[in-house]
Structure 1
Amino acid sequence: MDPDLSNVFTRSAAPNDFGVENAIARGEKRRLIKPNSRNNAKLEDLKVFLIDWINTTLKQEHIVVKSLEEDLFDGLVLHHLLEHLGSLKLDVDKIALTEKKQRQKLSVILEAVAKCLRLEENQLKWSVESILSKDLLSTLHLLVAIAKHFQPDLAIPANVQVETMTIENTSRGLKTETRLEYITDTKGNSEDQSTGDAFDELFNHAPDRLDAVKQVFLKFVNQHVGKLGLNVNDIESQFADGVILLLLIGQLEGYFLNLRDFFLTPASPTEMLHNVNLALDLLTDGGLLNFSVNSEDVVKGDMKTTLRLLYCLYSKYKTKET
């Protein structure tokens, strides 16, 4: 379920509920979590989960986060997190003491996040100013997006929703609107289940047909990557680094992949994982992937996962001319 489509508009509320009616400049719009939602048990679980995740991830760097609002606004933790998870080298100082330096640092960091997650500006649920101002809602959206991209198998608490208020200071006064907003999505869908059942059935009850299915996919793949001088004969091993998958997606979808965006000759599991995550993003953006995939399974050469991904492409492009 797309969280943006799950937003439900509810009643209006008085800005006095937040005590910020005098703090919003003319023309400014601010979105806040309503006080009654801050005590939401699922929200608390998500905050604790993200704090534990960050502290575990950055344990070797001796970084300890106690508060998402207070400890992430200056960009230091986000900087370390991106370097650790995505092997990203950001051209910014580790420590920024002044607000000007913090704003510059966050700008570089969030630009890198948007590029890595392939998000346009209108898709972002955070900004430099909102993170810098210790906005919890924006910080949560940012962390969840980073976690889902770099560690899609992470068991993030599902179906976390809060009641928010958007306050806008217009020429006619304050305009307020409340809505129910999802921070994390609900898990599972019927299409995911049906796809899983089909391949589970193949592996569990018709293994004799597996080789035939693999040959169909191999023929399909080689029809399209053959023009690049490539040949695939082992699905289990040759898709593990994500390179063939990325090139196949580019050929079928009709676009060129910039070599700076992925590792053509990945030399480590981290680089392989980066490639696979990029491929999953491209499939999702193209409307070809509508079920969850653990990218680490692909890197490990899990045959069932790889075949499911290839089926997404095969089902749409099996009649495409080479």
Structure 2
Amino acid sequence: MEPDFFTAFAQPSALHHSPLKNDAIQGEKRKFINPTSCNNPKLEELQMLLIDWINTTLKQEHIVVKSLEEDLFDGLILHHLLEKLGSLRLEVEKIALTEKKQKHKLAVILEAVAQSLQLEESQLKWSVDCMCRSKMQAIFQKDLLSTLYLLIAIAKHFQPDLPIPSNISVEVIIIERTLTGLRTENAVEYITENRENLEGQAKADAFDELFTHAPDKLDAVKKFADGVILLLLIGQLGGYFLNLREFFLTPNCATEMLHNVNLAVALLTDGGLLDFPVNAEDIVNRDMKTTLQVLYCLYSKYKTKET
């Protein structure tokens, strides 16, 4: 029997040897982990964490998972897991013996997950691509990438304290059926949160929100231009006293203001609060974004500090 679109590319060697079915939809995509990433220690760590979590959760059911993609594809263990974690009662057979019943069971389970997590179809990363004709197909075909995305989503929702490692990325291969045949491309994809990007985006979003919805509050930022308040704030938050001889408490010119801000930047850099270059002249010239970035560094460091 000729393999279908998903089975054809379950192994890298199939890339050049197994054709698509004639009825495969143009634009249909398949994405899977490049075998070169399978030996990534961080990826292996993530898999072991999820396996241990499932086995611990289902210990009373005497269920032992050894391989995520091999043991979860038919929905049986996912069924037990959702019942245990979310007290979900699914109207499907516990044990489905035929392929047709297994696919139906898995479809019901994935629909229940989407509803519980309140996710739209476009947010279901385990669907691989919104144009796929069957959103459970990749998992049923034992695709590791889709299985990981599904389990991470379930864990974050039902057991948010599970210490899922951040910044785990893998190389992926993307295959698309086009009019002229197959188009392939390689990419790097984060399967767990990229903390640096999240923090950067949160900071950017906060600045954009301030610029858009609270322009009146930006006037307060201008008060940091001479460096005085900034220096006093650094000393107060850092728990040390700044010798008044080291800066100008009442600067009378741009040169004195620049001296103050340069001192503030040096203190922040020495204290490990700044991980990006800052032009002191920008703050003196009342550049809003630069000033806010510096203040955000202080906030990030001392936001939990009791006052």
TM-score by length of 2: 0.57
Q: Which residue is equivalent to 1:19? A: 14
Could you say which structure has the larger radius of gyration?
2
Residue 159 of structure 2 corresponds to residue 151 of structure 1: yes
Aligned with 2:15: secondary structure?
Answer: coil
Q: Which residue is equivalent to 2:250? A: none
Aligned with 2:125: secondary structure?
Answer: coil
Unaligned runs of 5+ in 2: 1-9, 127-134, 204-296
Give the Cα–Cα distance (whole angstroms) in 2 for the partners of residues 196 and 142 of structure 1: 34
| 1:130 Cα deviation from its structure 2 partner | 0.7
Q: Which residue is equivalent to 1:75? A: 75
Decide which of 131, 135, 141 is 2:139's aligned counterpart: 131
| 1:186 Cα deviation from its structure 2 partner | 2.9
Residue 46 of structure 2 corresponds to residue 54 of structure 1: no
Q: Deviations over 1:162-214 (max 9, x none)?
A: 1101111222011111111111113473769947843x334xxx4xxxxxxxx
Give the Cα–Cα distance (whole angstroms) in 1 for the partners of residues 162 and 11 of structure 2: 38
Distance change in 2, residues 1:16/1:94 (3 Å): closer
| 1:18 Cα deviation from its structure 2 partner | 4.0
| 1:144 Cα deviation from its structure 2 partner | 0.6
Which one-letter code corresponds to 2:40 in the other structure? Answer: N
| 1:41 Cα deviation from its structure 2 partner | 1.1
Q: Which residue is equivalent to 1:162? A: 170
Decide which of 165, 171, 186 is 2:194's aligned counterpart: 186
Give the Cα–Cα distance (whole angstroms) in 2 for the partners of residues 16 and 73 of structure 1: 16
Distance change in 2, residues 1:196/1:101 (3 Å): farther
Quote the RMSD (CA, aligned, Å): 2.3
Is the 8 Å Cα contact of residues 54 and 81 (structure 1) preserved in structure 2?
Answer: yes
How many residue pairs get aligned? The number is 188
Unaligned runs of 5+ in 1: 1-14, 207-322
Q: Which residue is equivalent to 2:150? A: 142
Distance change in 2, residues 1:16/1:130 (3 Å): closer
Give the Cα–Cα distance (whole angstroms) in 2 for the partners of residues 196 and 154 of structure 1: 25
- Percent identity over paired residues: 60
Distance change in 2, residues 1:103/1:196 (3 Å): farther
Aligned with 1:201: secondary structure?
Answer: coil
Which one-letter code corresponds to 2:20 in the other structure? Answer: I
| Larger RCO (CA under 8 A, 6+ residues apart) | 1
Q: Which residue is equivalent to 1:97? A: 97
Which one-letter code corresponds to 2:154 in the other structure? Answer: I
Distance change in 2, residues 1:79/1:40 (3 Å): same
| 1:109 Cα deviation from its structure 2 partner | 0.5
TM-score by length of 1: 0.54
Distance change in 2, residues 1:56/1:178 (3 Å): same
Which one-letter code corresponds to 2:179 in the other structure? Answer: S
Give the Cα–Cα distance (whole angstroms) in 1 for the partners of residues 181 and 66 of structure 2: 38
